[in-house]
Amino acid sequence: MSDLHTYFNLMKSTFIKAFKEVLREQILNKNKVEMDGFGQFEVIHREQHQKKYEDGRVVMMPPEDVVEFKSEIRSSK
Amino acid sequence: MKIDKENLIGLLADKTGMSRDEIEEQLEQLIKRIVDAAERGKALEIKEFGLFYFDDEGTLRFDPSEELSTEINFKYAGMEPIELKASRDTSPPPVQEEEEVELDDDPFAGLDDLTSGTKAQQSEELEPTEPEEENPFEKIQERENDPFSGLLGDASSKMNEEVEIDEEEDEEFIEPIPKKEPQKRVSPKKPGKKKKSSDPITTIIIVILVFVFIAGGYFIYNEFFQNPEPPEPESTVTQSDDSAPVEEEPPTVLQPLEPEAENEVIEPEPEPESVNENESLYGLMGSVSDAANDGFSIVVHSFGREEQARNAAANLSSEGYRVLVSSRTVQGNETWRVSLGQFPTIADAQENASELPSPYNTENFIQRIQTN
């Protein structure tokens, strides 16, 4: 039975919602979230930097924080 | 701080009220589902969170949603790329880009390149299998109305728009006054105006069009109506009566409204009022509006105990502020945040935050309103 349960993937909506919220909160608090067997979320700060385009334009990019996800999972293909 | 799987399960259990075992199982399923989808060459999207997929090298990647990226970057809202050196030629810049970017780590890479289009198409949205679920709709709506949808760059342009709107409002308030006087004096003219547009629906449509017109061409508006007004209000009326009905649209529109509603009592305010209604949904002062809970608020206090937060909230309330109290779990501790105002955009909130009395004007941060 439990196999069947898993097979049909009965994922609870409350769980998904909570998952999103908790991760969002943690990420916004600059916490690193590590999930064994899946990967880790981390916020990386990027200072402002100059970006050079091939056409000669040079653009100053504003600083930004980005979410970085690192995973040990590789495609089996 | 680091949140490991155990912490995460604990947090999720707290939030959902489910048991740790159940959470663990759900988490396993979620991961399995993400990986399964990725293996099939699909991207799995968790709305308002992000997209999981395998990149060309077979590594699992995550692209944060626009909402998440914007929220993380709220500090930098309004900052735009600045061009330091212009392009050498005038032809449109090649899509091929920057020298220094490590494409793999660039979360925006997915947004830029073409593959994202296919990714998005393939993406299987994570809609839980339970039918009682109201989330998908809720999410879609939120997304449509999301004030974030314009990323960093947009925030400043929105601010500009808002400034313009403010100016318009001022004029709105000024404008009706001169009209009021002439109308009282030259009452015989009213019937003539009435004939011009008898259908109230048409009138309303015209009013709306005029507003669109005003928003689009503030300067034109300025020229047409600012100039004639101050010198002789009476002549404005005669003008609008006899000639140039196209140019003088707003007066001819506004005036029929008044006689129709009530012949004697002239209310110059109907329009400003409706503007105010829209405005009062959001704001710094007044009382909390549930309809404005999709916006942002300025956090000015953070307490460990609810009681302290409620006290501070009561004090601020008595000063006329719109006060919200919310709780969050920060680093394992529950904190109670007291925040002021409800604003449609981060830029709005920032603007208001800077005008708060000291020390709130410097010691604050903006958060998305959360109703627990």
Mean pLDDT computed over every residue of chain A: 81
Chain A contacts of B5, Cβ < 8 Å?
34-36
The pLDDT value recorded for residue A64 is 86
> For the residues of B277-292, what is the DSSP string, one character each?
HHHHHSBSBS---GGG
The pLDDT value recorded for residue B189 is 44
The pLDDT value recorded for residue B175 is 41
Strand partners, B85: A58
Give me the amino acid identity at B199: D
Candidates B58, B85, B101; nearest CB to A77? B58
Q: b/e string for B51-62 if b means 16 or more Cβ within 10 A?
A: bbbbeeeebbbb
Interface pTM (ipTM) of the complex? 0.77
> Does residue A47 carry a pLDDT above 60?
yes
User: Which regions of chain B are under pLDDT 50?
Assistant: 96-123, 127-197, 228-277
In whole angstroms, what separates CA B118 from the centre of its chain?
29
The pLDDT value recorded for residue B328 is 77
Report whether B63 contacts B107 (CB < 8 A): yes
Q: Which two tokens stand for residue B34?
A: 């993400």
Dist CA B144 CA A31 (whole Å): 29
Residue to test with chain B: of A6, A35, A41, A49, most B Cβ within 10 A: A35
Q: Do A51 and B98 touch (CB under 8 A)?
A: yes
Q: Which two tokens stand for residue A45?
A: 């700060």
pLDDT classification of A10: cutoffs 50, 70, 90: low
The pLDDT value recorded for residue B98 is 44
Interface of A with B in 9-48 (CB under 8 A): 9-29, 31-39, 41, 43
> For the residues of B258-278, what is the DSSP string, one character each?
HHHH-SSS--S-HHHHHHHHH
Strand partners, A41: A33, A69
Report whether B294 contacts B369 (CB < 8 A): yes
> For the residues of A3-19, what is the DSSP string, one character each?
HHHHHTT---HHHHHHH
Interface of B with A in 12-31 (CB under 8 A): 12, 15-16, 18, 23, 26-27, 29-31
Candidates B73, B84, B99; nearest CB to A64? B73
Looking from the CA of B218 toward its CB, the CA atoms found within 13 Å total 14
Q: Do B62 and A39 touch (CB under 8 A)?
A: yes
Q: Determine how β-strand B333-343 pairs with β-strand B323-330.
A: antiparallel
Chain B contacts of A21, Cβ < 8 Å?
15
Mean pLDDT computed over every residue of chain B: 65
pLDDT of B62-113, one tens digit each?
Answer: 988 888 888 888 777 777 888 888 777 655 555 544 444 444 444 444 444 4
Residue identified by tokens 């489910």 is B18
